[in-house]
Structure 1
């Protein structure tokens, strides 16, 4: 059974960095404010000083690294002790530019076509809200999170650890909608979501559109979400309506959802057919290669990152099991020679959520290599090394994610 809980709260106020409802959701700690100065940090200095694009203007610029107008990364030191990532600190990754903000003027009028069920139907968001509601807490993570650690210089945004966050999604479970429409038609093997971005003129739509297919088994946890962190889903994160597949990489969580179809085959859109495929270095993408679907077990240290004072040191981080529940986290201060089990913080919000962790260590003056490794409830252990691949996808190796700490 999926770890979800029902909710019947009224609509929240407009999303913004000062929302008390969102702050209340942090369950024990807000994200740490960035305090590093700009001197000597040329790339990040520019990123922090640059004005955020209008559609994300409400976000906390000091907690983010702006790689481009469509890609903003959460700083490693901005992750706090709470479970949920504040909306104004959550990373942003758009394959296409966000639609015009006019689509948010009357969100309940947004329409969604459902195909591949016994009865096909078009719903407005207002109608979807009458069919059922559920809240699921899950990790949202870009397929390329950790790409910067690949030595071959994989193309794409050079994410470190900040293309990930843990958020609460509220919406109607897709399984409820399917029941309403008489079930999935026989022979359908995939759930295919199509985004509602405006496509540039003069290009083959299949070459650029955001349309992703995931195995039908994901129906059990899939959600059509209209709220995030107890607030209306913002334009930056896919509002008015987003497909959410807990446990799956972010690209499958299609934003601005316009069509949801149950299909026999995967879509032939480029983003699916050759994009987001795990392939060897120098090899072109192809449909027979593994697709970026389920996330593996992963963890990393969030504090301290560079320096500490000799004595008792609290080492913090976050960990998750991906599509499985997290079982435990271990921390090493000597680069993986010896391990000690960390304590998980806060309540367990379900198998798809991450857990902050902490380990208290007595550290003398010197240099330490801090690393962490997580284990899921299936006994799968976070590996030491990355799996090299052309696009730098799916990196969960603990060695590259470690930090070197100087204790004085």
Structure 2
């Protein structure tokens, strides 16, 4: 049943500079208004009107492009590559792509064609860059200033990693406590391999849900999103979902690659990353409003649907609340559309009748483990894992 809320003038935040600052809204419009850049050739099929091209390796979904359906269309989904994509010729014979499986009792190199005979599973997951929300950090971390658009919810099809491991005799020993995926990008010459190799390790428990996926949203996996085959680790940040995966190993220690040891670490402000700091692994509870959005312009007073998305890593979201006064008062939203499982996001909506004025609209999610989306971001040098509800708010003018 749709919630309905009648708003009165006491809820208005007209001209409230402090409320806008608290909501972290000052940086969004400057990023969205960045001059348009052409789509790179490997992603030329993307919908140029729905994305912001930051660089040849970073493409963000516009907040205004997120609709009310659960699944993000492939031509609107963000792109983040740590290295240039392999040549498109790797897709000419997809089934010939090889993945080395190591750290099992019967290690083998399997072609994608062979993997397709070993099992099949389909799962919907949120795919989110670790730096999504970086653009809201006041210290302006280096890296792409993502706002909300380095995320999407997609459907993967592939073979469960657990099925492959079982077929090869199981993990070869109790000391192998990490699952390590290695990407198949072409590495630049003249530099140490570990300094550029895309290789990430996640706890062994992630194997139970992981896929070697060759299909996304019902179509063969594109080069832009990791085709011919990608390691999908549901509930984990995007960097752990290895594109063009060529090696899957069960290891006693984390990868020695720089991207694992020093990259994607929760370093303190002004500090340098090191292996003792927390790694960016499972996603945290998060939500944001997609409509109204900062590109809406002045809205007409009266009936309105506020809607957005909410998710929480490996734990399902159970509740979303919406505030139109910058977090002073909260109202329960309702979920919209199908529940595609604990790794997918949920669309939420709140029906309001709203008079003229200026508003700061924010959302706050709670998951099944009792984790509540926080008001404030966790400050860190690289701008990772921002799930602050204040930062992700939207400023709306109603006339």
TM-score by length of structure 2 reads 0.91
Mind listing any 5+ residue stretches in structure 2 that lack a counterpart?
1-28
User: Which stretches of structure 1, 4 residues or longer, exceed 2 Å deviation after superposition?
Assistant: 41-48
> Does residue 320 of structure 2 align to residue 329 of structure 1?
yes
Write the deviation string for residues 108-153 of structure 1: whole angstroms up to 9, x where unpaired.
0000000000110010000000000000000000000000000011
Partner of 2:58: 71
Q: Given the alignment, which residue of 266, 287, 300 partners 2:275?
A: 287
Q: Residue 206 of structure 1: SS of its match in structure 2?
A: helix
Partners of 2:234 and 2:207 in 1: CA distance: 10
> Does residue 356 of structure 2 align to residue 369 of structure 1?
no
The alpha-carbon deviation at position 51 of structure 1 amounts to 2.3
Q: Given the alignment, which residue of 177, 187, 192 partners 2:180?
A: 192
Aligned residues of 1:104 and 1:239 also touching (Cα < 8 A): yes
> Does residue 263 of structure 2 align to residue 272 of structure 1?
no
> Does residue 201 of structure 2 align to residue 213 of structure 1?
yes
Q: Residue 378 of structure 2: SS of its match in structure 1?
A: coil
Partners of 1:192 and 1:335 in 2: CA distance: 42
Q: Residue 177 of structure 1: SS of its match in structure 2?
A: helix
Aligned counterparts, 1:68-147, within 5 A: 68-147=55-134
Partners of 1:44 and 1:271 in 2: CA distance: 29
Partners of 2:226 and 2:306 in 1: CA distance: 34
Q: Which structure carries more relative contact order (alpha carbon 8 Å, separation 6+)?
A: 2
Partner of 1:170: 157
Aligned residues of 2:126 and 2:152 also touching (Cα < 8 A): yes
The alpha-carbon deviation at position 46 of structure 1 amounts to 5.8
The alpha-carbon deviation at position 323 of structure 1 amounts to 1.6
Mind listing any 5+ residue stretches in structure 1 that lack a counterpart?
1-40
Q: Given the alignment, which residue of 178, 184, 190 partners 1:202?
A: 190
The alpha-carbon deviation at position 195 of structure 1 amounts to 0.3
Q: C-alpha root-mean-square deviation of aligned residues, in Å?
A: 1.1
Q: Given the alignment, which residue of 354, 363, 366 partners 2:345?
A: 354
> Does residue 237 of structure 2 align to residue 249 of structure 1?
yes
Q: Residue 339 of structure 2: SS of its match in structure 1?
A: coil
Partners of 2:347 and 2:370 in 1: CA distance: 19
Q: Given the alignment, which residue of 299, 302, 308 partners 1:317?
A: 308
Partner of 1:402: 393
The alpha-carbon deviation at position 308 of structure 1 amounts to 1.6
Partners of 2:283 and 2:214 in 1: CA distance: 23
